[in-house]
Amino acid sequence: MSDCTRLEQQSVDYLEGDLDPEARAELELHLAGCTACQDTLRSYRAIRGAYRTGPEEDASPAVAQAILAAARPGRRLSRPLLLVAAALALLVALPVAFFAVRGDDYAITVLIRRGDAQRDAGELEGAESTYREALALAGKGERGAEISHRLAALHVAEREFERALGQLDSLIEAHPEYEGRQALLLLRGEALAGLGRPAQAIEAYQRVAAEFPGARDETARRVRELVNGLSAEESESLQALGYMGD
Amino acid sequence: MTRDAPSTGSAPDGASDDALMRAFSSGDSGAFERLFQRHRRPLFTFLLHHSGSRGTADDLFQEVFLRLIQSRAQYQPTGSFRAWLFTIAHNVMADDRRRAALRTSPHDGLAPGRDRDGAEAWEEALVSRDGRGDPVARSHAGDLRRHIEAALLRLPEAQREVFLLRERGGLDLGHIAEVTGANLATVKSRLRYALAGLRRLLSAELAALPESSHE
């Protein structure tokens, strides 16, 4: 091994002051007569010296504030982020014990937000994985329902109707008071239509119209679209069953 | 070991990082605020210079501290709170890379797409920052620093991480080995390759430095 190679290999130890005196003296002896090695070490020192003089950067104030809020369970935020406000709004409705895991709740909100961004960017696989992380933290409560709802919608978008239907049926049964129930029932209709079960899809839409009179226009539109896409045979059979009265 | 983080007892209030973390584990959120103020800038600068994107750095920064908050009950004093904090950061970045890899088409090859985009965005940001500055006030060292920040994104990730943990995290090489899970010899090699890579990428800028700014 040449002395220049040895110096190169020991350069970090030398700069860190980690060489024993004997090795250091040997290296410095070589250095005294080798301009190439002097130049190497000079460059390394200049790089480290210049970089260390740089200013320190800081996170955005909103992020810093959200972190501090997450570490303070029970205290109010002076200027809450929208997403933290959403988490707080949910907390108001939940048992006091929930305050003990506010950190988790915040993390869930962050994960949901990230999953939504992935979904909106068309990264469905990534979104599903992020929602599942959130679900693992959230468990089966209301937040779990909110996440499962997103997963079911994702499955419908991916045309995985069987998976979506299974998830929707469990959700609808387990959370009769869930605030997104109307959307769940509509999704169920979509999943059934996607599975080629038009009669059941129409029943599902009729159920939405019965529970949510304000959604009648929407359900009528969906039924029309569904019927328009059917073959003559299918239409006939549905008519015979009384599903297409008007 | 000239720039180690004040992990024990050097803060004006006298409380060490370990003591503050233990206090936080017991429910003292004020202790967390002090820890946060101590470490937020070195950590954020590390994440920013590693990712090249302020938005990504914000996301990662948030996740690092959320994980810290979540795992406060399991905290065991290790002698270096900062090494523990950067270990969380290392893991958060690894998870982020795994997620990014899942989203990346195999046709994109091995190139870290976000890093490449980040390098370009970072260089643009540097150009605009240079344009805003007072040319008289800009020092050679300042110019070199800005070029280093851009060149860092062109280094292999493992080398960039070791360089930043040393120069921004202020960790000694032993702690860097703990944080990255590599052995000490590997850490030294990575730092050496990082310096050699930067030197190669910055040969023109280094040659333009006056003799006196080399030391």
Q: A145-156 pLDDT, tens per residue?
A: 889 999 998 888
**pLDDT on residue B121:** 53
Single-letter amino acid code for the residue at B16: S
Cβ contact A56–B99 (<8 Å): no
- Sign, CA torsion A195/A199/A203/A206: positive
Q: How many CB atoms lie within 10 A of CB B206?
A: 22
Query: What separation in angstroms does the CA of B174 have from each of A18, A48, A157, B181, B182?
Result: 12, 19, 49, 10, 10
Subunit contact B62:A103, Cβ cutoff 8 A:
no
Residues contacting A169, CB < 8 A, separation 6+: A188
Contact B29 A72 (CB under 8 A): yes
B56 interaction partners in chain A (CB closer than 8 Å): none
Q: Is B167 in Cβ contact with A48 (below 8 Å)?
A: yes
B47 φ, ψ to 5°? -70, -40
Split at pLDDT 50, 70, 90, the class of A130 is confident
CA A17 distance to own-chain centroid = 46
pLDDT attached to residue B105: 42
* Cβ contact B8:B17 at 8 Å: yes
Mean pLDDT across A3-26: 92
The model's confidence at residue A229, banded by pLDDT at 50, 70 and 90, is confident
Closest A-chain CA to B190: A12
All residues of chain A having their beta carbon less than 8 Å from the beta carbon of residue B65 are 67, 70-71
CA dihedral A186, A191, A197, A203 (to 10 degrees): -20
Q: Which chain A residue has its CA at the smallest distance from B31's CA?
A: A71
Pick the residue from chain A with its C-alpha nearest to B28.
Answer: A72
Residue B159: Cβ-neighbour burial (10 angstroms; 0-12, 13-18, 19+): buried
Cβ-Cβ contacts under 8 Å, A9 against chain B? 192
CB B121 within 8 A of CB A144: no
How far does the CA of residue A46 sit from the closest CA of chain B (Å)? Answer: 5
Residue of A56, A130, A137 to mutate, interface with B, max B Cβ within 10 Å: A56
pLDDT value at residue B15: 86
In Å, how far from its chain's centre is CA B6?
17
A136-150, B30-44, B53-67, B166-180: lowest mean pLDDT where?
A: A136-150
Cα torsion B116, B118, B120, B123: sign: negative
pTM of the model: 0.57
CA pair distance B208, B215, nearest whole angstrom: 14
ipTM comes to 0.78
With CB atoms and an 8 Å threshold, state whether A60 touches B62: no
Q: How far is CA A166 from the centre of its chain?
A: 22
Tell me how many degrees the CA angle B177-B153-B109 measures, rounded to the nearest 5: 95
Instruction: Mutate one of B46, B199, B212 to test the A interface: name it (highest A CB count within 10 A).
Output: B199
Q: In a 10 Å sphere around its CB, with 0-12 CB exposed, 13-18 middle and 19+ buried, how is residue A19 labelled?
A: middle
Chain A: residue whose CA lies nearest to B56? A59
* CB contacts, 8 Å: A44 with chain B: 195, 199
Min CA distance, B26 vs chain A (Å)? 12
B75: left (phi > 0), else alpha (psi -120 to 50), else beta?
beta
Does A8 sit within 8 Å of B192, measured CB to CB?
A: yes
Which residues in chain A are contacts of B144 at CB distance < 8 A? 46-47, 50
CATH topology for the B15-104 domain: Rna Polymerase Sigma Factor; Chain: A (1.10.1740)
Smallest CA–CA distance, residue B76 to chain A, in Å, is: 18
Write out the two tokens for A20: 């024993």
Query: What count of residues does chain B have?
Result: 215
Query: How far apart are alpha carbons A196 and A244 in whole angstroms?
Result: 17
Domain B134-207: state its class: mainly alpha
Domain boundaries, chain B: 15-104, 134-207
Tens-place pLDDT, residues B83-123: 999 999 999 999 888 877 665 444 333 333 344 444 555 55
Taking CA atoms, what residue in A is nearest to B35?
Answer: A68
- Rg of chain A over CA atoms, in angstroms? 31
